[in-house]
């Protein structure tokens, strides 16, 4: 006779297994315990049932996989939403925050394209292969191979097209910015060119129109879906729909000082920020509102009214999209995450014209430094800077079926765009590939944020790394180091000083040194950044300025009239052949200099600029010609240079470079290997008609010292 199990053993098994068994099986086991039926027989039943249960569980998991909606705004300031302190009406986003969670320390990369790379790949931009994505795999590719319907609408701003990177449906523009009413030539629909309608078009609205259409296709296919909506708003050009603009007209006549003060009070009252936090002071480059000339107050107020209208419209369209989810019974099990790609933009690239109303295709406004300061309340600095004002993003996560944290609560743990891919892979049960055709994948740097959604412990395995151009930063626990445009490193304890008011670099030199070493090591080993990206910073402090920040001195020429002449700085205009600021505009080239930036208009063949160094006393080479360029289309550029007084341009030696960014600034660094002395330099940015801007143009010597800068006084 087989040996019967002891009563004690059966009791222990019953207690242990009951919570994990279906009711009928649990009751059966209790009866077996009572009647002392053989344990082996029960184990056979249990094995069969467990197999069936696993199959049912797997089916339920597939059936209950959440939909995923990622929404990215463009150049949205930290305090631009109602639930983040703003007076702008954003009831739909506020409602998502009230029934979901919001983050107080969610980071982006401070720049448009790099933030998009990090969002899609879970990697830092350079590590992923930059805009080519040659070392990464996208969230769309991950979810598409795991049974999801994938779609995107809005701004792409990377190479190729979304349909080349896993998105089965796409509507939007490939460019970094466009006219909101007329678009540009880069619009695509599912990989094919799409002609923007001649009327009744506005990009923010169109993005949601197509998003809803794509969701209907997903529902028809009975698949879970992943939708990425990349609004271009409120990025410049500042364009608002007439009714939206009318809603905010004259609301901002009180000025940025009062608006910033009110936003900070609201942030603290709502619990978004700690009550003991001190707001950062108004910087020297932003004047008090009361000190502005009346025409300037009117003009600046009009800019903020337009920005508010654009942000309001984003909220309205997102409300239309979430209503569609609710109407289709999908809102409860859709993970919605709303973020911004960087802080508010301070770069003032349009000459003032206070008379226009930016509610049509022909009239638009540019960004402004004063309002960017207010929109990034309570932080310092802006887009492209690695201070909190450049990298802190409003972030709202809504997923009733999956978030266990208290509704409306604030998550204070630092998070980053690199965490999005691992998070959605985690919650959807999707496998991250170890290899991908034609790409050499690098490890993901982000981590799943799922523990934070259930009030569980979360440990950041590596510091958060920040790098764009010459702006740098590193966040390690509560400590942060930051460098403004390759200036001296600064050190802050964000647990006590989130607004970065008290630089502790001199008080903690050992900590500073160790964090700099960590930043440099990550730049080299994690990002695989070029060596120049982590070259030594300057040791001497210098003013924190930028040639494209608004200059508020001066008045409109001939008074604040309608000519639209530039007043942010003194303008210097050079037609072809005229020498302006040490620069000669060549044939078919018009040169306008504002705030140290060269604005070039090319009207025919063979345009460009030239600099004559024959009257300068400069050392022998080698050299490096270095500048930033912004252009609306990619092109191949060339420089020509001479090394003797007899040779004239375009004779001499020639070097080429590529301009691959679209409507965005790109650093160009050209080594000139000659050991001789330069006499002339010519820069050609394209072969024919077009526009471009050049900033920070300088010639450097072999020791990387600056020899000459242009424009010259």
Q: What angle do CA 248, 250, 251 make, to 5 degrees?
A: 60
**Domain closes at, from 411, 439, 459:** 459
Which pLDDT does position 219 carry in this prediction?
Answer: 97
Residue 35 shares a structural domain with residue 151: no
**Residue 585: strand pairing partners:** 609
- Spell out the SS3 assignment of 509-534: HHHHHHHHHHHHHHHHHCCCCCHHHH
**Domain closes at, from 459, 485, 518:** 459
Q: Are 490 and 503 in contact (CB under 8 A)?
A: yes
Confidence of residue 350 (pLDDT cuts 50, 70, 90): confident
Token pair belonging to 257:
């000082």
Indicate if the pLDDT at residue 619 is higher than 80.
yes
Average pLDDT estimate for 108-123: 97
Residue 101 is assigned to a structural domain of this protein: yes
Confidence of residue 172 (pLDDT cuts 50, 70, 90): very high
Q: For 409-435, write each residue's pLDDT tens digit.
A: 999 999 999 999 999 999 999 999 999
Closest residue by Cα to residue 144 from 433, 339, 401:
433
Helix (H, G, I), strand (E, B) or coil at 671: strand
Q: For 372-423, write each residue's pLDDT tens digit.
A: 999 999 999 999 999 999 999 999 999 999 999 999 999 999 999 999 999 9
Q: For 541-597, write each residue's pLDDT tens digit.
A: 888 988 889 988 755 544 443 333 333 333 334 444 455 668 988 878 888 888 788
Indicate if the pLDDT at residue 39 is higher than 60.
no
Confidence of residue 649 (pLDDT cuts 50, 70, 90): confident
Using CA atoms, how far apart are residues 381 and 471, in angstroms rounded to an integer? 12
Residue 470 shares a structural domain with residue 436: no
Q: What Å distances lie between residue 366 and 236, 299, 302, 351, 664, CA to CA? A: 6, 11, 11, 8, 15
CATH number of residue 231's parent domain: 3.40.720.10
CATH number of residue 689's parent domain: 2.60.120.260
Q: Are 88 and 82 in contact (CB under 8 A)?
A: yes
CATH number of residue 532's parent domain: 3.30.1120.10
* Spatial CB neighbours of 55, under 8 Å, sequence gap ≥ 6: none
Which pLDDT does position 160 carry in this prediction?
Answer: 95
Residue 484 CB neighbours (<10 A): 25
Residue 545 is assigned to a structural domain of this protein: no
Indicate if the pLDDT at residue 503 is higher than 80.
yes
% of the chain beyond a pLDDT of 90: 70
Q: Are 339 and 417 in contact (CB under 8 A)?
A: yes
Using CA atoms, how far apart are residues 88 and 79, in angstroms rounded to an integer? 10
User: CB-hemisphere CA count at 13 Å for 597?
Assistant: 23
Which pLDDT does position 237 carry in this prediction?
Answer: 94
Residue 49 shares a structural domain with residue 157: no
Instruction: Say whether the peptide bond before residue 622 is cis (omega within 30 degrees of 0).
Output: yes
**Domain closes at, from 459, 484, 503:** 459
Residue 407 shares a structural domain with residue 492: no
User: CB-hemisphere CA count at 13 Å for 220?
Assistant: 6
Residue 370 is assigned to a structural domain of this protein: yes
Q: Are 29 and 17 in contact (CB under 8 A)?
A: yes
Residue 565 is assigned to a structural domain of this protein: no
Buried b (16+ CB within 10 A) or exposed e, 128-159: bbbbebebbbbbbbbbbebebbbbbbbbbbbb
Which pLDDT does position 690 carry in this prediction?
Answer: 80
Secondary structure letter of residue 436 according to DSSP? B
Which pLDDT does position 596 carry in this prediction?
Answer: 81
Which pLDDT does position 569 carry in this prediction?
Answer: 34
The region, left, alpha or beta by phi > 0 then psi within -120 to 50, assigned to residue 356 is beta
* Spatial CB neighbours of 411, under 8 Å, sequence gap ≥ 6: 101, 102, 103, 104, 405, 452
Instruction: Please state which of the ranges 7-11, 118-122, 294-298, 341-345 shows the lowest mean pLDDT.
Output: 7-11
Using CA atoms, how far apart are residues 695 and 597, in angstroms rounded to an integer? 5
Indicate if the pLDDT at residue 114 is higher than 90.
yes
* Spatial CB neighbours of 687, under 8 Å, sequence gap ≥ 6: 605, 606, 635
Select the more confidently predicted residue: 48 or 342: 342
Which helix (H) or strand (E) segment is 354 a member of?
none
Residue 639 shares a structural domain with residue 509: no
Which pLDDT does position 186 carry in this prediction?
Answer: 94
Residue 552 is assigned to a structural domain of this protein: no
Buried b (16+ CB within 10 A) or exposed e, 284-320: ebbbebeebeebbbebbbbbbbbbbbbbbbbbbbbbe
Residue 543 is assigned to a structural domain of this protein: no
Q: What angle do CA 473, 477, 482 make, to 5 degrees?
A: 15
Token pair belonging to 593:
């200099």
Confidence of residue 476 (pLDDT cuts 50, 70, 90): very high
- Spell out the SS3 assignment of 638-668: EEEEECCCCCCCCCCEEEEEEECCCCCEEEE
Which pLDDT does position 556 carry in this prediction?
Answer: 59
For helices 112-121 and 420-428, the axis angle rounded to 10 degrees is: 30
Strand ranges (E), 216-359 = 225-230, 334-340
Residue 637 shares a structural domain with residue 522: no
Which pLDDT does position 208 carry in this prediction?
Answer: 98
% of the chain beyond a pLDDT of 70: 87
Residue 553 is assigned to a structural domain of this protein: no
Which pLDDT does position 603 carry in this prediction?
Answer: 80
Average pLDDT estimate for 620-637: 88
Using CA atoms, how far apart are residues 631 and 624, in angstroms rounded to an integer? 22
Using CA atoms, how far apart are residues 574 and 593, in angstroms rounded to an integer? 8
Average pLDDT estimate for 56-81: 82
Q: For 141-169, write each residue's pLDDT tens digit.
A: 999 999 999 999 999 999 999 999 999 99
Residue 154 shares a structural domain with residue 268: yes
Using CA atoms, how far apart are residues 277 and 499, in angstroms rounded to an integer? 8
Indicate if the pLDDT at residue 29 is higher than 70.
no
Using CA atoms, how far apart are residues 607 and 160, in angstroms rounded to an integer? 28
Using CA atoms, how far apart are residues 212 and 339, in angstroms rounded to an integer? 20
Which pLDDT does position 615 carry in this prediction?
Answer: 79
Indicate if the pLDDT at residue 254 is higher than 60.
yes
Residue 512 is assigned to a structural domain of this protein: yes
Which residue range forms the structural domain that includes residue 20? 7-63
Using CA atoms, how far apart are residues 394 and 78, in angstroms rounded to an integer? 5
Residue 30 shares a structural domain with residue 161: no
Indicate if the pLDDT at residue 468 is higher than 80.
yes
Based on the structure, what is the number of domains in the chain?
Answer: 4
Residue 397 shares a structural domain with residue 439: yes
Using CA atoms, how far apart are residues 397 and 96, in angstroms rounded to an integer? 8
Residue 220 shares a structural domain with residue 96: yes
Which pLDDT does position 17 carry in this prediction?
Answer: 44
Secondary structure letter of residue 129 according to DSSP? T
Q: For 669-693, write each residue's pLDDT tens digit.
A: 999 999 899 999 999 998 777 888 9
Q: For 487-496, write each residue's pLDDT tens digit.
A: 999 999 999 9
Q: Are 151 and 228 in contact (CB under 8 A)?
A: yes
Residue 455 shares a structural domain with residue 476: no
Instruction: Say whether the peptide bond before residue 234 is cis (omega within 30 degrees of 0).
Output: yes
Residue 509 shares a structural domain with residue 607: no
């Amino acid at each position: 006779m087989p040996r019967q199990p002891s009563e004690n053993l059966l009791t222990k098994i019953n207690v242990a297994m009951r919570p994990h068994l279906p009711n009928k099986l649990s009751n059966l086991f209790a009866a077996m315990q009572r009647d002392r039926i053989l344990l082996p027989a029960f184990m056979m039943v249990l094995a069969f049932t467990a197999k069936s249960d696993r199959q049912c569980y797997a089916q339920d998991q597939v059936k209950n996989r959440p939909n995923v909606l990622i929404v990215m705004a463009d150049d949205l300031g930290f305090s631009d939403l109602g639930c983040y302190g703003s007076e702008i009406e954003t009831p739909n986003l506020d409602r998502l925050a009230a029934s979901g969670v919001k983050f107080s320390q969610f980071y982006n990369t401070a720049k448009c394209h790099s933030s998009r790379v990090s969002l899609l790949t879970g990697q830092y931009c350079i590590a992923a292969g930059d805009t080519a994505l040659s070392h990464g795999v996208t969230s769309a590719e991950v979810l598409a191979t795991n049974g999801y319907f994938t779609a995107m609408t809005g701004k792409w701003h990377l190479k190729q097209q979304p349909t080349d990177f896993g998105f089965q449906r796409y509507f939007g523009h490939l460019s970094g910015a466009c006219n909101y009413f007329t678009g540009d030539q880069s619009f695509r629909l599912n990989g094919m060119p799409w002609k923007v309608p001649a009327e009744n078009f506005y990009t923010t609205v169109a993005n949601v129109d197509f998003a809803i259409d794509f969701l209907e296709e997903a529902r028809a296919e009975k698949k879970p879906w992943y939708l990425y909506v990349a609004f271009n708003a409120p990025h410049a050009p500042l364009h608002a729909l007439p009714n939206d603009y009318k809603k905010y007209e004259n609301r901002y006549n009180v000025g940025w000082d009062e608006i910033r003060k009110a936003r900070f009070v609201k942030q603290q009252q709502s619990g978004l920020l700690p009550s003991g936090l001190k707001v950062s002071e108004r910087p020297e480059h932003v004047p008090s509102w009361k000190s502005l000339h009346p025409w300037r107050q009117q003009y600046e107020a009009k800019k903020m009214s337009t920005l508010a209208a654009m942000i309001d419209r984003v909220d309205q369209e997102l409300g239309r999209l979430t209503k569609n989810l609710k109407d289709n019974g999908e809102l409860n099990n859709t993970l919605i995450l709303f973020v911004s790609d960087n802080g508010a933009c301070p770069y003032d690239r349009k000459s003032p014209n206070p008379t226009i109303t930016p509610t049509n295709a022909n009239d638009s406004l540019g960004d402004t430094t004063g309002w960017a300061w207010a929109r990034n309340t309570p932080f310092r600095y802006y887009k492209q800077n690695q201070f909190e004002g450049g990298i802190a993003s409003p972030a709202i996560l809504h997923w009733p079926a999956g978030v266990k944290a208290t509704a409306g609560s604030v998550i204070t743990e630092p998070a980053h765009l690199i965490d999005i891919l691992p998070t959605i892979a985690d919650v959807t049960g999707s496998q991250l590939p170890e290899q991908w055709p034609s790409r050499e994948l690098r490890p993901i740097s982000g981590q799943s944020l799922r523990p934070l959604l259930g009030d569980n412990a979360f440990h950041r395995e590596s510091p958060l790394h920040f790098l764009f151009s010459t702006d740098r930063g590193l966040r390690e626990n509560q400590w942060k180091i930051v460098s403004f445009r390759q200036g001296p490193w600064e050190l802050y304890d964000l647990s006590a000083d989130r607004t970065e008011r008290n630089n502790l670099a001199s008080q903690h030199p050992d900590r500073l040194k160790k964090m700099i070493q960590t930043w440099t090591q990550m730049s080299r080993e994690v990002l695989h950044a070029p060596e120049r990206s982590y070259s030594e910073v300057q040791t001497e402090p210098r003013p924190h300025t930028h040639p494209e920040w608004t200059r508020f001195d001066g008045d409109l020429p001939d008074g604040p009239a309608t000519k639209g002449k530039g007043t942010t700085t003194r303008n210097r205009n050079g037609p072809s052949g005229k020498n302006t600021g040490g620069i000669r505009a060549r044939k078919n080239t018009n040169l306008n200099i504002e705030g140290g930036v060269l604005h070039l208009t090319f009207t025919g063949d063979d345009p460009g600029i030239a600099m004559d160094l024959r009257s300068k006393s400069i050392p022998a080479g080698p050299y490096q010609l270095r500048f930033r360029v912004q252009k609306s289309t990619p092109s191949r550029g060339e420089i020509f240079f001479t090394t003797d007084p007899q040779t004239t341009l375009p004779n001499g030696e020639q070097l080429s470079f590529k301009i691959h960014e679209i409507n965005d600034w790109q650093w160009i660094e050209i080594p000139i290997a000659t050991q001789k002395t330069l006499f002339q330099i010519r820069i050609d940015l394209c072969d024919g008609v077009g526009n471009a801007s050049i900033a920070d143009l300088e010639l450097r010597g072999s020791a990387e010292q600056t020899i000459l800068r242009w424009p010259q006084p």
